[in-house]
């Protein structure tokens, strides 16, 4: 979210490289998760990985990046952030382009610097898009499977066994259909609760904004 917002703000300010930046930033999201996993496996592999080859070239100790508990979860997070930050960028950049420029110019005329414009004008106007993006990323996080399964298969010591992999193990390895079904229903209910919270917060913000406009 933070990277997507930062990139959206930077790209909007860049008039000369605007189109090029959009293409470069969006292409990771267009690559299939399986392909992304294979690319990063070639980078992080302890034997043939590009990263270890680079470390060996500079006479630095190589690491089993996917064989350590901390290293594996960090690698999964990095891969997921690299792959799906473009989604957050696209949603926030689209919302940022729709921000009322008159309000921005009015704030600048009143003496606000660039940080104050972002903090008190742009971000409040982007809040519906931010909440929507958080919700979408939460759903995508629960559904994440390909990267974890292909890179680490949930290991080492179940360090990267998150929701989707756990459900898969319960159903197909343990054949515990009762627990797996109950766990899946619980996840659906939790995600429904998150949707309800997001919609409630968004409705309250719109109501407060409407009441403020009426009072003014």
What Å distances lie between residue 26 and 88, 135, 140, 146, 152, CA to CA? Answer: 10, 20, 17, 20, 26
In the predicted model, is pLDDT for residue 209 greater than 60? Answer: no
Q: Tell me the pTM.
A: 0.79
Q: Tell me the pLDDT tens digit for each residue of 127-151.
A: 888 888 888 888 888 888 888 888 8
Strand ranges (DSSP E) for 76-213?
none
Going along the chain from its start, the domains and CATH numbers come out as: 2-215 (1.10.3720.10)
* Residue 92 pLDDT: 92
Rounded-to-10 torsion of CA 150, 153, 159, 161: 100
Q: How many CB atoms lie within 10 A of CB 92?
A: 23
* Residue 212 pLDDT: 59
In the predicted model, is pLDDT for residue 105 greater than 70? Answer: yes
Contact 44, 66 (CB under 8 A): yes
Q: 27: which 2 tokens?
A: 């292409």
């Amino acid at each position: 979210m933070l990277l997507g917002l930062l990139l959206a703000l930077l790209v909007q300010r860049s008039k000369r490289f605007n189109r090029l930046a959009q293409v470069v930033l969006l292409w990771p999201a267009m690559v299939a998760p399986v392909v992304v996993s294979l690319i990063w496996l070639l980078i992080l592999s302890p034997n043939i990985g590009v990263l270890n080859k680079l470390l060996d070239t500079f006479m630095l100790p190589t690491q089993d990046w996917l064989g350590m508990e901390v290293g594996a979860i960090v690698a999964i997070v990095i891969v997921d952030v690299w792959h799906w930050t473009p989604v957050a960028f696209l949603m926030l950049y689209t919302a940022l382009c729709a921000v009322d420029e008159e309000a921005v110019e009015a704030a600048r005329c009143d003496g606000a610097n660039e940080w104050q414009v972002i903090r008190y004008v742009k971000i409040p106007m982007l809040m519906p898009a931010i909440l929507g993006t958080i919700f979408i990323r939460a759903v995508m996080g629960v559904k994440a499977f390909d990267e974890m399964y292909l890179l680490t298969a949930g290991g080492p010591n179940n360090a990267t066994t998150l929701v989707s992999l756990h459900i898969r193990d319960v159903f197909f390895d343990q054949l515990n259909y009762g627990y797996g079904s109950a766990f899946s229903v619980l996840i659906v209910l939790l995600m429904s609760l998150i949707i309800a919270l997001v919609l409630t917060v968004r409705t309250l913000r719109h109501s407060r904004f409407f009441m403020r406009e009426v009072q003014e």
